[in-house]
């Protein structure tokens, strides 16, 4: 009965979303604002993306801590398409050789990363392909003062994936909190699903007058003593590696400034061949049973001593990805409410290491690693349980400075 109700709700949601989008009006920049206590945020239908999130720092100054554009139209025009704040899917992260096997049948999905002479479109697929979910315009299904829900119908065969998927994404603000829930339902065929939000963060609002880098932020992953091993192009090898205490990828033994890892020679190629920094998938190994919402049970903490803004991330997911913006090159401009003005030493752009992507997710490319036994989480069937991602981003003020 429960699954039939979910399926019926999915059909209703898909059928009424267009009318709902026409009913709800965005502001002059095409953004939908919602409000909580001490926090406000904006979203757009393109990619169901978060574009702004504003909280006060330790001095009472408002900081927009999310990277994005001032106007919704820029997201579609941006040629770099860095997946700014969007829902990445149908399958987040990378799929090795753009192939997977399901029930003895081999499937080929559309590649879009690491092109070669033999494979000009790419070797692997990243974030659902060249027309993944964050490239598409969702419908606004519901909109209130503190919450907004987007919906998407992903058709059978799109980007090479079998079966239709109906999904909805709900963002809600509370008391200094941003919560989201992503639900995806396979309606016609069994299919792989792996989803996340791809927001870019800088807890100084890009306004730090000491540095443009976020490497001074303190990062902590209390349950992440292991990570997924990857090759030179960030494709999982199948091995699970220990993050030994004191190593570059050790963020579990104690909080540390991200910059501290750059003192170690292990940082070289840590995020792929020729990449010094982070773009890693840490496993979240919590004791069970687990109440993921329980106070203090966060999977990640990010904190800036300069602004005093602290972000604790709670989630029901069993992995966590952090990307240290290794390939930002100063071409991405800041929003009007971010950064410093009239200071030639601090241009109004995002430099290398000027932001962080924080993704709650499951084990990446698990569809190509049956030895991990993640099939039930990654292959979703009609009539079965939906794919669900839940997270709560909780903000507070903490000006503690962790030694470099």
- Token pair belonging to 386: 């939906």
Per-residue pLDDT at 14 exceeds 60: no
**pLDDT per residue as tens digits for the range 82-103:** 999 999 999 999 999 999 999 9
Phi–psi pair at 64, nearest 5 degrees: -90, 110
User: Which two structure tokens, joined as six digits, stand for 89?
Assistant: 């899917």
Q: Identify the band that residue 171 occupies on the pLDDT scale cut at 50, 70 and 90.
A: very high
User: For 112-164, how does the pLDDT look when each residue is reduced to its tens digit (9 = 90+)?
Assistant: 999 999 999 999 999 999 999 999 999 999 999 999 999 999 999 999 999 99
Helix (H, G, I), strand (E, B) or coil at 188: coil
CA 60 from centre of chain: 28
Query: Which pLDDT score, from 0 to 100, does residue 402 have?
Result: 85
- Is 359 labeled as catalytic in the residue annotation? yes
Predicted confidence (pLDDT) per residue in 233-288, tens digit? 999 999 999 999 999 999 999 999 999 999 999 999 999 999 999 999 999 999 98
Residue 401 pLDDT grade (very low, low, confident, very high; cuts 50, 70, 90): confident
Is residue 385 scored above 90 in pLDDT? Answer: yes
pTM of structure? 0.95
Q: Is 369 a catalytic residue?
A: no
- Residue 403: predicted pLDDT: 78
- Work out the mean pLDDT of the chain and round it to a whole number: 95
User: What pLDDT shows up at residue 289?
Assistant: 87
Helix (H, G, I), strand (E, B) or coil at 388: strand
Residue 360 scores a pLDDT above 50: yes
Whether pLDDT at 5 is above 50 = no
State pLDDT tens for residues 39-62. Answer: 999 999 999 999 999 999 999 999
Residues 113, 164, 318, 359: which is the catalytic one? Answer: 359
Catalytic residue, from 83, 127, 194, 198: name it.
198
Task: Provide the strand spans (E) within 144-290.
Answer: 147-154, 165-173, 177-186, 191-192, 196-197, 200-201, 218-220, 226-230, 236-242, 256-257, 279-283
């Amino acid at each position: 009965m429960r699954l039939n109700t979910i399926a019926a709700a999915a059909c209703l949601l898909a059928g009424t979303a267009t009318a709902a989008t026409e009913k709800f009006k965005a502001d002059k920049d095409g953004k939908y604002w919602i409000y909580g206590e001490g926090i406000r945020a904006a979203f757009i239908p393109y990619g169901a993306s978060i574009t702004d999130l504003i909280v006060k720092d330790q001095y009472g100054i408002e900081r927009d801590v999310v990277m994005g554009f001032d106007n919704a139209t820029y997201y579609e025009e941006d040629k770099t398409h860095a997946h700014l704040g969007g829902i990445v899917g149908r399958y987040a992260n990378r799929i090795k050789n753009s192939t997977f096997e399901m029930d003895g049948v081999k499937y080929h999905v559309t590649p879009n990363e690491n092109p070669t002479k033999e494979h000009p479109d790419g070797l692997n697929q990243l974030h659902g392909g060249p027309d993944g979910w964050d490239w598409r315009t969702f419908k606004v299904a519901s909109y209130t003062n503190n919450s907004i829900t987007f919906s998407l119908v992903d058709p059978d065969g799109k980007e090479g994936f079998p079966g239709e998927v109906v999904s909805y994404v709900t963002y809600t603000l509370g008391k200094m909190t941003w919560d989201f829930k992503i639900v995806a339902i396979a309606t016609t065929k069994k299919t792989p699903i792996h989803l996340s939000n791809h927001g870019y963060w800088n807890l100084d609002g890009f306004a730090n007058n000491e540095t443009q880098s976020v490497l001074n932020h303190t990062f902590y992953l209390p349950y992440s003593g292991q990570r997924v091993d990857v090759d030179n192009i960030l494709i999982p090898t199948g091995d699970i590696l220990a993050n030994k205490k004191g190593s570059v990828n050790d963020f579990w033994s104690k909080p540390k400034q991200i910059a501290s890892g750059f003192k170690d020679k292990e940082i070289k190629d840590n995020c792929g061949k020729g990449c010094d920094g982070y773009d890693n998938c840490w496993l979240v190994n919590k004791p069970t049973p687990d109440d993921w919402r329980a106070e203090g049970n966060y999977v990640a903490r990010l904190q800036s001593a300069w602004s005093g803004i602290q972000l604790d991330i709670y989630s029901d997911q069993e992995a966590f990805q952090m990307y240290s913006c290794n390939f930002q090159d100063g071409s991405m401009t800041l929003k009007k409410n971010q950064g410093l003005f009239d200071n030639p030493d601090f241009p109004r752009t995002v430099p290398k290491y000027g932001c962080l992507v924080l993704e709650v997710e499951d084990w990446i490319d698990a569809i190509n690693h049956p030895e991990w036994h993640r099939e039930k989480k990654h292959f979703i069937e009609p009539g079965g349980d939906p794919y669900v991602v839940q997270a709560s981003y909780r903000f507070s003020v903490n000006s503690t400075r962790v030694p470099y």
